[in-house]
């Protein structure tokens, strides 16, 4: 094993976890990352292209648990804030502001807000401590040949600083794992060797980040939540039909906020940023009381306005020498909070399949070492990679689609009565009849590890049963009479029925 060389391209969260899995299996691991080491305090990111805060949920946590690094999850979790549900912000017709909390799951189930940089740094620290891992920052993949197992990188290291010219280096590998993000160079080179189906779509929405600062508190303050201006245990949403503004908590009491907005509207605001506070007052009431207008304008002018890409491809591998994971394989829009979680799950599934195919019977060998020839391992790896592509593509396509659908849910469906009715009924069933295995789609995605495609199948079946049973129930004469009597007293029956069966 020690002479099998795994090269990981990209030291983001998914690449770092893949390197850890490979290292724990005794491989020789080299990680090449385009950017400087994010742990270097002298490096200020010029133009960040990834949101600062992320929602980490069960799939990401489970993948980290299975890495064999016992302290990893405890360490990561110690820097997270649990978000138990959405807090929907709005304004009633009489002008008063309201907040409406919708739990994500039952009991204490929560997704976890985490700082992307601290999660990534923790993974890199662990890799640094392992003797069989070498990290190369400022190395950009420029070419890869998956037949001869060679790759080329442009190194912007000390020589570059001295003479201003990047150095080209050539390396060899047994397996290259491409975790180099949505615009993956590994995927680009892999496509020349494998008949990869590929589709990408930019949705007509851009995103821009804003900062909601902590509330100043004095040293005698006893309440640990006093520094948060809004509830720390929610993902806050200001839905706006075509727009959406969200806020995710940070440990220091601040919130990282993101505006999602179609390109035509953002162009209008770019032409006249001074109109931003009025735009917020109209579409996201209450925000300017938390983030003053001038600060909104400053963030809007300073922070990049970035596109959202959704991409699907398959297969993910070539022979025994190359495979892509994470955003490189299935970048998705961020509305299910699953991009990184799904990428980490890729790593867990990839290595479980590799283990299944490459672990020979250790009992034949008195030293417990795995002995097999290079050809045998390459053959086993190629079988494993083919299986990985076959099983993972369906799930990756499924979460990609769910993420697109969830944009509609987050910015407008959360307000509809039909949505809330189904959610209420599903939650009622999951709390009172857990033995039926009833769960909301969100719970299955965020608090479980079953395949995304299975989640969709089960959830669609469950939705049909639920709505048919509900319609059958309310159309039974006894229940109908009771409802008519109830709602006649409280207002128009017609508007009640219309409310139940129409989207907002």
Our CB check for ligand FAD shows the closer of 55 and 429 to be 55
For the chain, helix (H) and strand (E) counts, in that order, are 18, 19
The answer to whether the CB of 254 falls within 8 A of the CB of 214 is yes
67 near ligand FAD (CB under 6 A): no
Dihedral angle computed from the Cα positions of residues 412, 414, 417 and 421, in that order, rounded to the nearest 10 degrees: 150
State the minimum distance, in angstroms, from the CB of residue 341 to ligand FAD: 4
Distance (Å, rounded) from C-alpha 226 to C-alpha 210?
Answer: 21
Our CB check for ligand FAD shows the closer of 177 and 429 to be 177
The correct pick among 175, 343, 429, 453 for binding ligand FAD (CB under 6 A) is 343
245 near ligand FAD (CB under 6 A): no
Our CB check for ligand FAD shows the closer of 322 and 334 to be 334
51 near ligand FAD (CB under 6 A): yes
Our CB check for ligand FAD shows the closer of 50 and 156 to be 50
User: CA angle 346-347-353, nearest 5°?
Assistant: 90
Per-residue string for binding with ligand FAD, 83-122, x by CB under 6 A? ----------------------------------------
Omega before 315 cis (within 30°)?
yes
317-318 and 322-324 strand pairing: antiparallel
Per-residue string for binding with ligand FAD, 118-147, x by CB under 6 A? ----------------------xx------
Q: What is the DSSP letter of 70?
A: T
179 near ligand FAD (CB under 6 A): yes
The correct pick among 4, 7, 8, 12 for binding ligand FAD (CB under 6 A) is 12
State the minimum distance, in angstroms, from the CB of residue 257 to ligand FAD: 11
Distance (Å, rounded) from C-alpha 150 to C-alpha 417?
Answer: 58
CA distances for 298 relative to 210, 246, 284, 421, angstroms: 9, 18, 18, 40
Residues 259-288 that bind ligand FAD (CB under 6 A): none
Our CB check for ligand FAD shows the closer of 54 and 266 to be 54
**Following DSSP, what letter does each residue of 53-64 receive, concatenated?**
EEEE-HHHHHHH
Our CB check for ligand FAD shows the closer of 34 and 72 to be 34
The number of beta carbons lying within 10 Å of the beta carbon of residue 232 is 18
The correct pick among 334, 357, 438, 444 for binding ligand FAD (CB under 6 A) is 334
Of 432, 426, 436, 489, the residue nearest 460 (C-alpha): 426
75 near ligand FAD (CB under 6 A): no
Report the SS3 class of residue 51. coil
Residues contributing to the site for ligand FAD (CB under 6 A): 9-15, 32-35, 50-51, 54-55, 140-141, 179-181, 185, 207, 258, 326-327, 334, 337-341, 343
């Amino acid at each position: 094993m020690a002479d099998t060389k795994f090269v990981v391209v990209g030291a983001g969260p998914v690449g770092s976890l893949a390197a850890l899995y490979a290292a724990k299996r005794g491989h020789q691991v080299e990680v090449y990352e385009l950017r400087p080491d994010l742990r270097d305090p002298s490096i200020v990111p010029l133009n960040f292209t990834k949101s600062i805060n992320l929602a980490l949920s069960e799939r990401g946590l489970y993948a980290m648990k299975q890495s064999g690094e016992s302290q990893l999850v405890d360490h990561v979790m110690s820097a997270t804030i649990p978000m138990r549900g959405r807090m929907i912000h709005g304004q009633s017709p009489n002008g008063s502001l309201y907040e409406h909390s919708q739990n994500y799951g039952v009991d204490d189930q929560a997704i976890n807000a985490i700082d992307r940089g601290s999660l990534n740094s923790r993974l890199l620290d662990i890799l640094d401590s392992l003797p069989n891992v070498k990290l190369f920052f400022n190395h950009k993949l420029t070419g890869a040949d998956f037949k001869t197992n060679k790759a080329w990188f442009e190194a912007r290291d000390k020589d570059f600083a001295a003479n201003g010219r990047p150095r080209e280096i050539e390396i060899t590998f047994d397996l290259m794992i491409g975790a180099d993000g949505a615009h993956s160079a590994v995927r680009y080179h892999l496509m020349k060797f494998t008949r990869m189906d590929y589709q990408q779509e930019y949705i007509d929405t851009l995103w821009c980040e804003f900062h909601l600062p902590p509330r100043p508190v004095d040293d005698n303050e006893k309440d640990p939540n006093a520094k948060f201006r809004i509830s720390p245990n929610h993902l806050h949403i200001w839905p706006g039909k075509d727009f959406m503004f969200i806020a995710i908590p940070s440990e220091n009491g601040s919130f990282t906020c993101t505006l999602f907005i179609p390109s035509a509207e953002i162009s209008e605001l770019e032409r006249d940023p001074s109109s931003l506070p009025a735009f917020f007052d109209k579409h996201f009431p209450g925000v300017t009381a938390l983030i003053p207008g001038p600060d909104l304008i400053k963030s809007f002018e300073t922070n990049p306005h970035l596109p959202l890409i959704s991409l699907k491809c398959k297969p993910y591998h070539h022979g025994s020498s190359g495979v892509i994971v994470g955003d490189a394989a299935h970048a998705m829009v961020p509305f299910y909070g699953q991009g990184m979680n799904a990428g980490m799950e890729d790593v867990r599934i990839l290595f479980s399949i590799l283990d299944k195919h490459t672990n020979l019977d250790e009992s034949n060998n008195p030293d417990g070492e795995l002995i097999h020839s290079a050809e045998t391992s390459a053959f086993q790896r190629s079988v494993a990679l083919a299986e990985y592509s076959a099983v993972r593509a369906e799930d990756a396509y499924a979460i990609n689609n769910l993420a697109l659908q969830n944009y509609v849910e987050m910015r407008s469906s959360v307000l509809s009565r039909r949505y809330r009715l189904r959610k209420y009924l599903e939650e009622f069933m999951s709390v009172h009849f857990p033995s039926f295995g009833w769960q909301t789609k969100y719970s299955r995605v965020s608090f479980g590890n079953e395949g995304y495609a299975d989640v969709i199948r089960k959830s669609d079946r469950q939705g049909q049963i639920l709505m048919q049973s509900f319609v059958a129930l309310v159309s039974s004469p006894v229940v109908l009479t009771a409802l008519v009597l109830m709602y006649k007293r409280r207002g128009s029956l017609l508007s009640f029925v219309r409310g139940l069966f129409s989207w907002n």
